[in-house]
């Protein structure tokens, strides 16, 4: 018998078929080896596993609910719709799962300083949160452009005690922040942990973050059996780097009757360049330390991307996601900004839940797929985060005049 998909996707060597690996400067190799060894040792240690469980229960708020969306189901008139609600976690999204796990590993390794990269600021916020909790010094690199346009998250990170450093190089966005973080790690290898925010990057990050996220699917399995007597027929998640999707799907990878769908950011349409759907025109390449699909321009540089949701607005995707794409185990599709905004509103009005714009990509696919399925079938989607963080984007997209007036009044008062 060959290895199962679950065995292939969490593995010490970090190669997933042709994808993954560790393409880093020589000087980082021993650092990544130490991290890999510390991680794979920790997860064999009952005390570590128990501590993580305890913190999830009492600090982050696990298990998160699996909720039958009765009103949405009635409205769509097809399969029964369920929502796994990661938006109810502390800090409002699944990102806390791998931040908490990595902070525990950093502590175990005797690290005193944590660095992170962030684009929109959500990963920086979750990192600053766990650093505050564990008394770790926290430095967050942010492209200077992101630093200016994501002021609320910069403010919250600073309130949590983090130092946020704007990076005034290149396009002044996420990839410049990643480069700055890697340079920092090279200069401070002994006391610093680089807390990477999704299932991307060099080995061991993809395997490690998948491990810390797979709790989502493990809970979902138990809750589905408890509530419906069986496994779901369809599971749907949005895909940025791929961490919430992998965490949601992982426990079901070796159950062929459960159909899995990943939803990328279709932006303004995949015919043009204003999207972030890597499987719609992306090419295989090696960028930022790993091999995977990337949207690239003619020179082979990472392309500029667009999505209504900051968390999906990235040119790369995790290597295990690329493996699952080629393997065919997961079907990939995309949702366009317009449909995402509609999905956001439909879920709010039918179930009283604001999903993050990222998660609303999954909701858009639920709305499309569910009416085509029989009433005896079940569909479960991952609500990776809650939507209150998207206030400024949503009010702008909906051209809410009263809200603009409010903002102008606020500015006058400053």
Ligand X SMILES: *Cc1c(COP(=O)(O)O)cnc(C)c1O
For residue 340, state whether it binds ligand X (rule: CB under 6 A): no
Q: Which of 11, 94, 193, 234 is catalytic?
A: 94
Q: Which is nearer to ligand X, 80 or 384 (CB)?
A: 384
Q: What does each C-alpha distance from 137 to 21, 73, 340, 368, 389 come to in angstroms?
A: 29, 47, 37, 45, 25
Q: Which of 241, 266, 267, 316 binds ligand X (CB under 6 A)?
A: 241
Q: Which two tokens stand for residue 135?
A: 């008394």
Under rule CB under 6 A, which residues in 376-395 are in contact with ligand X?
384-385
Nearest to 175 by CA among 140, 141, 224: 141
Q: Which of 14, 21, 232, 311 binds ligand X (CB under 6 A)?
A: 311
278 with 294: CB under 8 angstroms? yes
For residue 259, state whether it binds ligand X (rule: CB under 6 A): no
Q: Which of 276, 356, 380, 394 binds ligand X (CB under 6 A)?
A: 356
Q: Which of 69, 131, 138, 383 is catalytic?
A: 69
Q: Which is nearer to ligand X, 79 or 120 (CB)?
A: 120
- To ligand X, the closest distance from the beta carbon of 296 in angstroms equals 19
Q: Which of 60, 85, 97, 122 binds ligand X (CB under 6 A)?
A: 122
Mark residues 187-206: x for contact with ligand X by CB under 6 A, - for none.
-----------x--------
Q: What does each C-alpha distance from 375 to 67, 70, 239 come to in angstroms?
A: 17, 12, 27
50: left (phi over 0), alpha (psi -120 to 50) or beta: alpha
Interface stretch with ligand X, choices 21-29, 32-40, 130-138, 232-240 (CB under 6 A): 232-240
Asked about 69 being catalytic, the answer comes back as yes
In angstroms, rounded to a whole number, what is the distance separating the alpha carbons of residues 285 and 412? 49
In angstroms, rounded to a whole number, what is the distance separating the alpha carbons of residues 233 and 370? 11
Under rule CB under 6 A, which residues in 50-109 are in contact with ligand X?
93, 95
Interface stretch with ligand X, choices 63-71, 172-180, 263-271, 353-361 (CB under 6 A): 353-361
Q: Which two tokens stand for residue 383?
A: 């609500």
- To ligand X, the closest distance from the beta carbon of 207 in angstroms equals 14
Asked about 94 being catalytic, the answer comes back as yes
Strand partners, 19: 16
Where would I find the beta strands (DSSP E) of 234-336?
234-238, 259-267, 283-287, 290-294, 330-336
3-class secondary structure, 92: helix
Q: Which of 166, 201, 206, 242 binds ligand X (CB under 6 A)?
A: 242
Under rule CB under 6 A, which residues in 270-299 are in contact with ligand X?
none
| Separation of first and last alpha carbons in the chain | 67
Q: Which is nearer to ligand X, 80 or 282 (CB)?
A: 282
């005034």: which residue's tokens? 168
- To ligand X, the closest distance from the beta carbon of 201 in angstroms equals 11
- Closest residue to ligand X, judged by C-beta, is 385
212 with 98: CB under 8 angstroms? yes
**Residue numbers at the binding site for ligand X (CB under 6 A):** 93, 95, 122, 198, 238-245, 311-312, 356, 358-359, 384-385
Q: Which residues are catalytic?
A: 69, 94
């Amino acid at each position: 018998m060959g290895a199962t998909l679950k065995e292939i996707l969490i593995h010490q060597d970090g190669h997933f078929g042709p994808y993954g690996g560790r393409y880093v400067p020589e000087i980082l190799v021993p650092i990544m080896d130490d991290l890999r060894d510390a991680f794979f040792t920790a997860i064999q240690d009952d005390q570590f596993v128990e501590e993580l469980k305890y913190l999830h229960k009492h600090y982050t708020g696990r298990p998160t609910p699996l909720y039958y969306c009765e009103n949405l189901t009635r409205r769509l008139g097809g399969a029964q719709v369920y929502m796994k609600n990661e938006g109810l976690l502390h800090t409002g999204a699944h990102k806390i799962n791998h931040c908490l796990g990595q902070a525990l590993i950093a502590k175990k390794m005797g690290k005193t300083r944590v660095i992170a990269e962030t684009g929109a600021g959500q990963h920086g916020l979750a990192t600053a949160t766990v650093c505050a909790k564990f008394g770790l010094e926290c430095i967050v690199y942010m492209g200077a452009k992101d630093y200016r346009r994501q002021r609320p998250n910069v403010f919250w990170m600073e309130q949590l005690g983090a130092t946020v450093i704007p990076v005034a190089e290149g396009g002044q966005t996420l990839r410049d922040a990643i480069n700055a973080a890697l340079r920092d790690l090279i200069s401070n290898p002994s006391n610093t942990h680089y807390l990477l925010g999704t299932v991307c990057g060099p080995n061991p990050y993809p395997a490690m973050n998948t491990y810390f996220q797979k709790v989502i699917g493990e809970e979902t399995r138990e809750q589905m059996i408890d509530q419906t007597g069986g496994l779901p027929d369809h599971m749907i998640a949005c895909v940025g780097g791929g961490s919430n999707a992998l965490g949601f799907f992982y426990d079901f990878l070796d159950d062929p009757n459960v159909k899995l769908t990943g939803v990328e950011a279709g932006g303004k349409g995949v015919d043009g360049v204003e999207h972030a759907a890597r499987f719609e025109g992306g090419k295989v390449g090696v960028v930022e330390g790993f091999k995977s699909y990337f949207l690239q321009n003619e020179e082979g540089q990472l392309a500029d991307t667009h999505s209504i949701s900051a968390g999906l607005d990235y040119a790369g995707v995790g290597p295990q996601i690329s493996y699952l794409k080629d393997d065919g185990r997961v079907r990939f599709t995309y949702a366009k900004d317009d449909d995402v905004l509609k999905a956001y509103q439909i879920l709010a009005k039918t179930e009283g839940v604001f999903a993050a714009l990222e998660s609303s990509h999954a909701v858009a696919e639920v709305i499309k797929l569910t009416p085509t399925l029989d009433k005896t079938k079940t569909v479960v989607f991952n609500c990776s985060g809650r939507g209150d963080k998207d206030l400024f984007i949503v009010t702008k997209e909906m051209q809410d005049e009263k809200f603009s007036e409010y903002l102008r009044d606020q500015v006058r008062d400053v």
